[in-house]
């Protein structure tokens, strides 16, 4: 029968093996995600992806603002058209 120290050592080894396996899995996932970033967006790393996302968000806000302005202008023209009838 294993001694208490031997059991603790085995548990520690098992835990280390489990963590090594999980680390390898996460490293593989990271590589896949970076490859996808490169293939789909031409981005080399997470920092470049964050910068691109900020740029897209800024562009979206600009487009939303322009769209709101156009909707307001359309509303005004519709009011004039209705009032003129």
CB 62 within 8 A of CB 54: no
Q: Which are the contacts of 10, defined by CB distance < 8 A and separation ≥ 6? A: 2
For the chain, the domains span: 1-42, 45-85
Average confidence (pLDDT) over 26-45: 96
Dig out the tokens for 11 from the structure: 């548990």
Q: What is the pTM of this model?
A: 0.64
Q: Of how many residues is the chain composed?
A: 85
Whole-angstrom Cα distance, residue 41 to residue 52? Answer: 9
Q: Does pLDDT of 84 surpass 90?
A: no
Whole-angstrom Cα distance, residue 75 to residue 85? Answer: 15
- For residues 20 and 82, the model is more confident at 20
Share of the chain above pLDDT 70, in %: 96
């Amino acid at each position: 029968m294993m001694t208490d120290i031997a059991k603790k050592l085995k548990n520690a080894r098992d835990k280390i093996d489990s963590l090594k396996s999980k680390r390898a899995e996460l490293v593989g996932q990271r590589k896949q995600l970076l490859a996808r970033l490169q293939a789909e967006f031409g981005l080399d790393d997470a920092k470049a992806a964050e910068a691109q996302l900020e740029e897209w968000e800024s562009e979206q806000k600009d487009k939303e603002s322009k769209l709101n302005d156009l909707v307001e202008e359309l509303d005004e023209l519709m009011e004039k058209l209705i009032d003129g009838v």
